Chain A
Amino acid sequence: MASERSDGHVPLAVKILIAGGFGVGKTTLVSAVSEIRPLQTEEVLTNVGVGIDDVHGVEAKRTTTVAMDFGRISINQDIVLYLFGTPGQDRFWFLWDELALGALGAVVLADTRRLDDCFPSVDYFERRNTPFLVAVNCFDGVQKHSSEQIAKALDLDPEVPVVLCDARDRRSVKDVLIALVEHVMTRKQIAA
């Protein structure tokens, strides 16, 4: 880089998506590693033109607010990593499309008591060919199922890593993110 000045220096943004069912611990995971308190950004949807809301009987409700939580990790002076928690409800897929565009990859956070909840996320990333791994949140310290059992239950491609984590623990979440980036690098080598 020619310029030594810090002003005018614009970093490169890299995105990782944190997906999974409602209440699985996405915001907790983002908080564990973010250098800022997780922020929330909102999109306001009007019923008109979106065609997803049945407005019968709720005439007063004209808009819906979708919140996305996100955190930030400054990798170095040139790269900023953003972690975006995806909106939980399936009907906000179109917001996922924007989030997934150009993303490094995704973490699908799973709770083995409600494994079904992460099927839509797995389907979505498979369909879009977005690299992802499944991180099983063992926040009660109990691992009831092996990674192999979970991979089988989710019908994952053999290449998709399944890792165990504690979404509250900074080191554990850090390891999940490292595993994801390493998976992306391996995938690229195979494709090349």
Chain B
Amino acid sequence: MPQGEHDWLDSDAGPVVRPYAVTGGRAKPAVGAFDLVAFVVSRVDGSGELHLLPEQRAILARTSEPVSVAELASHLDLALGVVRVLLGDLLQQGLIEMHEPEYDQSVGPQRPDDRILKAVVNGLRAL
């Protein structure tokens, strides 16, 4: 349930603010790819960035350590597409760093190599 003062509405009424209102209706980010498991790291804490939207400051505050795009969307309770637009603006302004997984579309998606697979098996066995 999105935050808001409209407590006479229950969650069945749906979000009070339309999801993409926060992006000014933009559905695609200005720059960037923003894979679900790309990591976001902020370069500033956001407290001084008064020109930003509250949602963008929230992103900066949450990403002093690397956070995946999927986790960020979930924690902020925003749709993925919305988060991607907000991240695009932040990236364009140099306020975040993105660490995208390495997919080379020309050779098809790269799957984890043997070293990683072995580490994953060992890690799972140790759980």
Please encode chain A, from 120 to 143, with 1 for each CB lying within 8 Å of some chain B CB and 0 for all others. Answer: 000000000001000000000000
| Chain A residues, Cβ within 8 Å of B123 | 73-76, 79, 81
A98 to B124, Cβ gap below 8 A?
Answer: no
B124 to A42, Cβ gap below 8 A?
Answer: no
Tell me which of A8, A100, A102, A188 contacts B110 (CB under 8 A).
A102
Instruction: Give min CB distance, B39 to chain A, whole Å.
Output: 5
| Cα-based distance from A72 to B74 in the complex (angstroms) | 13
| Cα-based distance from A10 to B66 in the complex (angstroms) | 6
| Chain B residues, Cβ within 8 Å of A13 | 37-39, 68, 101
| In the complex with contacts A39-B74, A41-B73, A14-B114 CB distance below 8 A | no
How many chain B residues sit at the interface, stated as a range, is: 35 or more
Instruction: Give min CB distance, B26 to chain A, whole Å.
Output: 13
| Cα-based distance from A131 to B112 in the complex (angstroms) | 12
B124 to A11, Cβ gap below 8 A?
Answer: no
How many chain A residues sit at the interface, stated as a range, is: 35 or more
B120 to A104, Cβ gap below 8 A?
Answer: yes
Q: Which A residues between 154 and 192 are near B, CB-CB below 8 angstroms?
A: 170, 174, 177-178, 181-182, 184-185, 188
| Cα-based distance from A12 to B113 in the complex (angstroms) | 12
B109 to A101, Cβ gap below 8 A?
Answer: yes
Q: Which A residues between 81 and 97 are near B, CB-CB below 8 angstroms?
A: 81-82, 84
A40 within 8 A of B: yes
A1 within 8 A of B: no
| Chain A residues, Cβ within 8 Å of B66 | 9-11
Enumerate 29 A-B pairs (CB-CB under 8 Å) in ascending A order: A7-B65, A8-B41, A39-B75, A41-B73, A41-B80, A43-B81, A44-B19, A44-B20, A68-B70, A70-B74, A73-B123, A73-B127, A74-B123, A76-B119, A79-B116, A79-B119, A79-B120, A98-B35, A102-B103, A103-B111, A104-B112, A174-B124, A181-B121, A184-B111, A184-B117, A185-B114, A185-B117, A185-B121, A188-B117
Residues in chain B within 8 A of chain A (CB atoms): 18-20, 27, 35-39, 41, 64-66, 68, 70-71, 73-75, 79-82, 99, 101, 103, 109-112, 114, 116-121, 123-125, 127
Residues in chain A within 8 A of chain B (CB atoms): 7-15, 33, 39-44, 46, 63, 65, 68, 70, 72-76, 78-82, 84, 98-105, 131, 170, 174, 177-178, 181-182, 184-185, 188
